[in-house]
Amino acid sequence: MFSAYRVLDVSNRIGWLAGRLLADLGADVIRVEAPGVSIDSADWQAYHVNKRLLRLDLGTVEGRCTFDQLIAKADILIESSQLGEANARYFEWTRLKKVNPRLVQVSVTPFGREGPRAGWLASDLELMAAGGAMSLAGEPDGPPTRVTVPQSYGWAGGQAAVGAVTAIVHRTATGLGQRVDVSAQSAVILASSHAAAFWDMNGTNPTRCGAYLTGRSIKGARYRAFWPCSDGYLNFIVYGGPAGRRTNSQLVEWMRERKAALGALDGTDWKRFDPKLATQEQVDELEQPIAEFFLTLTKREFLEEASRREMLGYPVSTIADIAHDPQLAARDFWQDMPRADGSVQRHCGSYAIIDGVRPPLRHAAGEEVGLDALMDEFGAGPQLRSMVKPERQFL
């Protein structure tokens, strides 16, 4: 869908996903790294598959002159220069739009290009804190906690891709480029769903609740969310409502078939059960036989049987569980990319199926393109080289 566009990606870790998403949509994405910079990390490889790699040193005058020539012929530039950094003026939109007025410049930074904290340093930890997400994860009496695998970069990169395509839609209508200013901190707020509404509407400040669901019973009962099973954990919650009623009835049916002890579950009328009115004692009585039953199941058993019975609930997958999930295999989610050294690397494929087909990944991570070849492809020949005059103060 997006194969009409050329993208230059010089972002730092915070913006890597943006170019990957645009590549998955069909764009020709060129990732630029200085010569010698290592590209071996799993993150680099995973977020730069489907892009081509150009080695070019933007720290030199010559490198920047050359890069300007590529910018003149590109549709989208993704960069992460932050207020106060040496390269921030080189990436000023007022300069870039003279080089290419049709360019969409996507600036992905921790806090946005301007503002009182635009120059502050932040890694994933600070961004998950700044966007409020950490305050809602972890044990209630323990420290705020981040997801161990960085998430803020995904939130920022994902929003950057939306911003890029929004600006391209506008360009298609008007012919005009512009700058998209993305704040990772603002993007992380999305991770907290509707939490802000509690504060805005009623002055209630949501807090983290660990491994339990709280706030659903007017009698203060908390509901268990994570249950040990024979090879890990399950996520299951005694819900109310139509889907909860179906789930609870099916679970009891399943336990009955397995001749598991039902305890207080036996005789519970799910049509009348209302989680809002249950006391902790009642919840504990219901949960105790469920806990014993779940200990006899594996994660895969639960996943398949719960799915068959159209019950709510999923296992808590490890990375290995995900890698071997038949649902993903059936949808050809994984793609094996042959590499120059003869090995094969398995990647998450393109993120959506479009018109019945998952668009194949086209480039192995780190597949290099030479500068001359790329200049030819971009139509950035000698004529153009002499047309674009670098402005010395930015070199």
Partner 1 sequence: MSAVQQALAGVKVAEFGAYAAGPHIGKMLATFGATVVHVESRSRPDGFRLEYPPYKDGRTGVDRSGCFAIFNDSKRAVTLDLKNEAGVALARQLIGWSDIVIENMRPDVMARLGLGYEEACALRPGIVMISSCNMGQTGPRAQTPGFGSQLSSLSGFCGLTGSPDGPPQLLYGPYIDFIASTLGASAVLAGLDRQRRTGQGALIDLAQYESGLMFIAGSMLDYHRDGVVAERASNRDPNAAPHDAYRCRDGQWLVLSCWSDAEFARLAGMIGMPGLADDARFATLGARQANETELSELIGKWSVGRDASEAATLLQAIQVHAYPVNTIADLFDDPQLGYRRTWRRRRHGAVGDLACYFSAFDLSDVPGDVTGAAPTLGADNEYVFRELVGLSCEQYADYQGLGAFE
**Cross-strand bridge partners of residue 337:** 345
Q: Which of residues 260-299 bind partner 1 (CB under 8 A)?
A: none
Q: Which two tokens stand for residue 346?
A: 């398995």
Residue 363 in the binding site for partner 1 (CB under 8 A): no
Residue number, 45 or 298, with CB nearest to partner 1: 45
Q: Which two tokens stand for residue 126?
A: 């600070």
Residue 131 in the binding site for partner 1 (CB under 8 A): yes
Residue 366 in the binding site for partner 1 (CB under 8 A): no
Q: Which residue has 């707020």 as its token pair? A: 189
Q: Give, to the nearest 10 degrees, the angle between helix 280-294 and helix 241-257.
A: 50
Q: Which of residues 17-76 bind partner 1 (CB under 8 A)?
A: 17, 20-22, 25-26, 41-43, 45-47
Least distance (Å) between residue 109 CB and partner 1: 11
> Residues 6 or more apart from 144 whose CB is under 8 A from it?
129, 134, 135, 136, 137, 138, 208
Among 87, 92, 93, 385, binds partner 1 (CB under 8 A): 93
Q: Which two tokens stand for residue 4?
A: 């009409």
Q: Does an H or E element contain 271, and which?
A: none
Amino acid type, 197: A
Separation CA 57–CA 112 (nearest Å): 25
Among 30, 70, 99, 130, binds partner 1 (CB under 8 A): 130
Looking at 60-68, 160-168, 251-259, 373-381, which segment touches partner 1 (CB under 8 A)? Answer: 160-168
Residue number, 251 or 374, with CB nearest to partner 1: 251
Residue 313 in the binding site for partner 1 (CB under 8 A): yes
Least distance (Å) between residue 132 CB and partner 1: 5
Residue 192 in the binding site for partner 1 (CB under 8 A): yes
Vertex 37: Cα angle to 36 and 40 (nearest 5)? 115
Q: Give, to the nearest 10 degrees, the angle between helix 152-174 and helix 16-24.
A: 50
Residue number, 325 or 377, with CB nearest to partner 1: 325
Residue number, 91 or 374, with CB nearest to partner 1: 91
Q: Does an H or E element contain 157, and which?
A: helix 152-174
Amino acid type, 78: I
Among 30, 74, 96, 161, binds partner 1 (CB under 8 A): 161
Residue 170 in the binding site for partner 1 (CB under 8 A): yes
Q: Which residue has 């009642």 as its token pair? A: 282
Looking at 28-36, 61-69, 147-155, 381-389, which segment touches partner 1 (CB under 8 A)? Answer: 147-155
Looking at 257-265, 279-287, 328-336, 382-390, which segment touches partner 1 (CB under 8 A)? Answer: 328-336
Binding footprint of partner 1, residue count (CB under 8 A): 146
Residue number, 73 or 113, with CB nearest to partner 1: 113
Separation CA 96–CA 71 (nearest Å): 8
Q: Which residue has 């295999």 as its token pair? A: 329
Q: Which two tokens stand for residue 317?
A: 């997958």
Residue number, 249 or 317, with CB nearest to partner 1: 317
Q: How many CB atoms lie within 10 A of CB 162?
A: 14
Residue number, 55 or 97, with CB nearest to partner 1: 97
Residue 371 in the binding site for partner 1 (CB under 8 A): no
Distance of CA 299 to the CA centre of its chain: 25
Least distance (Å) between residue 237 CB and partner 1: 7
Q: Which two tokens stand for residue 357?
A: 């087909």
Residue 395 in the binding site for partner 1 (CB under 8 A): no
Looking at 201-209, 277-285, 372-380, 386-394, which segment touches partner 1 (CB under 8 A)? Answer: 201-209
Among 320, 341, 342, 382, binds partner 1 (CB under 8 A): 320
**In the 8-state DSSP scheme, what is residue 85?**
S
Greatest CA separation for the chain: 85
